[in-house]
A and B are shown apart, each in its own frame.
Chain A
Amino acid sequence: MAPLPCTLVMGGLVVVAFAASDPVVLTAVLAAALLLLWRTAGSRRLYLIIGLVTGAAVALVNPFVASQGDLILIDGPTTAVIDLQVTLEELLYGAAAGTRLAAVTLLTGAWLGLVDRDRLAARASRATPRSTLTVTLAARLLPALRRDATALVEATRLRGSRVTGARLQTARTWGALVEPLCAAALDRGAEHAEAMAARGYGPTRPTAWCERPLDRREWVAVGLGLVICAVAVWVLLGGAAFGWYPTADMPSAAAVAAAALIVGLGSAAALTLGSRS
């Protein structure tokens, strides 16, 4: 998929995730992110694990670092390093922050999975020629590293080590792969950079490839992305404001409507963007 529609859709949703504080809107963004990630062709599990684990961690930690809210659930002591008094508002705010982090992680994964990296690198070379090396390396390195990681796991299996099953053994096996994977990443990066240099990449601006125009589906996705961006602007202007402390507000009717719109737009975008690889 062309970079423009992907960026409009995913970028708009990321802005909403960062700007909104209303839990209904944040939940809607998470739902849209899950739908978009589900439609990607590549590996989804990694982003799901990272997004859900980091989101859950933020949700769990917040009550012990914040000290606000009226409705006390656990009345523990407050020390210099940790606050053991837990309020309902702290729990809810933590859940909202975790939802935000998870949504942004999933949207990043969806963008990486859906965007045509060739066209992205070509766009970058036109827009910011000095960044072409970085963008091309990143675009090429990600799939190459995925294959290298797969090869390293296979190498481990071919030597009789298990990568699934008993947790301790599995953890040891995966831990031992960190160093070779870093070495492989450095090797690959250097090799790709050398190949670019040898193929004439340098100070002059390269000729742009004749890109095919956006097709009908991509134009539909651009339209959906623009509406999502409009929602993002509305949120930035305070449309989905929400007060957590000292007591949590009730979601406004406008926020509920915005959330419904985001889920609808996200679903439509997932169907449109994901129909092409």
Chain B
Amino acid sequence: MIARVRDLTYRYPAAAADAAAGLSLDVARGEIVLVHGPSGGGKTTLLRALAGLVPHFHGGRFGGSVVVDGLDTRHHDVAVIARRAGIAFQDAESQVLYRSVLRDVSFGLANHGVSRQELEPRARAALAAVAAGALAGRTTDTLSGGELQRVALAGVLAPGPSLLLLDEPSAQLDDAGASLLAAVLRRLADAGTAIVVAEHRTDRYAGVADRVVGIGDATEAPEWPMRPAGTIGPTRLELHGLAGGRGGRAVFAGVDLTVGAGEIVAIRGSNGAGKSTLLRLIAGLDAPAAGVILLEGRDVTGAAAEDRYPGIALVPQDPGRYLLCARVVDEVRSGGPAAEDALTALDLDRLRERHPRDLSAGERERVAIATALAADPAVLLLDEPTRGMDPRRRAALAALLGDRAAAGRSIVVATHDRQLIAMCRARSVALGAAA
């Protein structure tokens, strides 16, 4: 066994409840263990415990034992454990430390004392292993979310840990990227690396994972409720010849799209195709390089985001960065007058007094969606809304979006999640070379 967890119980400092309670897990060399469970169910805490970050970095109350490659994590420093266990966090943005991609990937290597002649070749090899070799000359501030996730993963892979811990590694990857990741993980496991993946999208590891372990109140994925096909009303949103870019680079041009009242449109595309950029243009956060945006026949191309509110509401890709208030209830109320209905619809009533920054990624996502829904927008834009959501929540979201569409609202969702697209019966539109 490379890792052995026994009766792990842990509570973060000042937290009211345990983040993990009585968890036990054995991981053998060369094994891929898929861990799933509800949002906030303790998956991230388990990975942190295996990396020694819990309790050394976070403090708090720790019970039970975690042994990694013969080291009891309670008695060894994180830096020592890091030589054996590498962890990739859910939010790649926080993991990346340098501006230069190559330097960032080599950070762990340098800390492990790899000779300077080997730093760059090994960093390049790690990037190549996750099909990100072309990013070697880029700077991290110009990368899309999916590209950044690959760079973060390369940084963890580079030192060659014997235990690899991945927290939702495919959350921002397109299907091709996710398939590639699964193949990379299988190859690493076959070479003897033990891998623990905390993931809601278990379908992406079918045939690759050796074991699937449920923690917390883990439930099987429910039957996918297919939304009945609804009637699509008159055109509400029109894009004509839209062109947009990111960081001074043109990403797409000539995009035409019409969205009717009561329609759900899914924007698909590979990482870096410009899905988020397109939603930002529609929301009015950025100005298009060319083209026209019509909302219910009105030209809103030159209107700012605040002038498009409440007609258009956007839930951005990383909602954790868009939190303004100290309580969930205040955050949702800041979105608009229909806050109470939104809180109930997203099952947030029990979290209403919590600080949004203390929530898990999936819970934050729900808070962000509720905040947007509170304005009762005619057009709701969602950027990767199922990130960090367990299957039950995803099904509930699909049902909610279906209800909104049935009420005549229009929804545009940028996503890699094919199941969400199917559940919503969304019209799928490919941007660039769709994956």
Assess the A157–B324 pair: CB atoms within 8 A: no
- Asked if residues B78 and A159 are in contact (CB atoms below 8 Å), the reply is no
Q: Are B114 and A199 in contact (CB under 8 A)?
A: no
Q: Enumerate chain A residues within 8 angstroms of B314, measured Cβ to Cβ.
A: 158
Selected contact of B99 from candidates A117, A184, A196, CB within 8 Å? A117
| Neighbouring B residues of A158 by C-beta, 8 Å | 283, 285, 305-306, 309, 313-314, 322, 372
Q: Is B119 an interface residue (CB 8 A)?
A: yes
Report B80-115 residues with CB < 8 Å from chain A CB.
80, 82-83, 86-87, 89, 91, 93-100, 103, 106-115
Whether, in the assembled complex, B274 has its beta carbon less than 8 Å from a beta carbon of chain A, the answer is no
Q: Evaluate contact between B119 and A209: CB separation under 8 angstroms.
A: yes
Are A155 and B111 neighbours in the complex by a CB distance under 8 Å? no
Given A136-B97, A207-B115, A207-B119; A197-B78 close (CB under 8 Å): yes
CB distance from B229 to the nearest CB of A (A): 31
List chain B residues, Cβ under 8 A from A160.
Answer: 306, 309-310, 375
Please choose the segment from A80-88, A94-102, A140-148, A228-236 that sits at the chain B interface, where 4 or more of its residues have CB less than 8 A away: A140-148
Instruction: Tell me which residues from 129 to 182 in chain B have a Cβ below 8 Å from any Cβ of chain A.
Output: 141, 155-156, 159
Residues of chain B at interface, number, CB under 8 A: 67
Known contacts A118-B103, A140-B98, A197-B82; A204 and B111 CB within 8 A of each other: yes
Query: What CA separation (Å) do A264 and B248 show in the bound complex?
Result: 33
Candidates A151, A159, A201; contact of B79 at CB < 8 Å: A201
Contact of A200 with B112 at beta-carbon distance under 8 Å, contacts A118-B98, A160-B310 already known: yes
Q: At the interface, yes or no: A168 with Cβ under 8 Å from chain B?
A: no
B334 at the interface (CB under 8 A from A): yes
**Interface of chain B residues 48 through 101 with chain A (CB within 8 A):** 51, 53, 56-58, 77-80, 82-83, 86-87, 89, 91, 93-100
Q: Which 6 A-B pairs have the closest CB atoms?
A: A202-B79, A200-B111, A191-B94, A160-B309, A155-B322, A200-B82
B391 touches A (CB below 8 Å)? no
CB 8 Å contact bits of B265-298 with A (1 = contact, 0 = none): 0000000000000000001110000000000000
Minimum C-beta distance from A135 to chain B (A): 11
Whether A202 contacts B53 by the Cβ 8 Å rule is no
Q: Is the CB of B100 within 8 A of A118?
A: yes
* B51, B94, B375: most-surrounded residue (chain A CB, <10 A): B94
A-side interface mostly: helix
Bound: A204/B82 CA distance, A: 13
Do residues B323 and A155 form an inter-chain contact, with CB atoms below 8 A? yes
Residue of A nearest to B97 (CB): A140
> Measured between alpha carbons, how far is A160 from B324 in the docked complex, in Å?
13
User: Is the Cβ of B93 less than 8 Å from the Cβ of A144?
Assistant: yes
**A46 interface residue (CB < 8 Å to B):** no
Interchain CB contact under 8 A, B110 and A207: yes
Chain A hits for B120, CB < 8 A: 209-210
Supply 14 further A-B pairs (C-beta < 8 A) apart from A183-B326, A199-B82. A117-B99, A152-B321, A157-B284, A157-B309, A159-B334, A160-B306, A162-B306, A194-B94, A198-B53, A199-B97, A199-B111, A201-B107, A209-B116, A209-B119
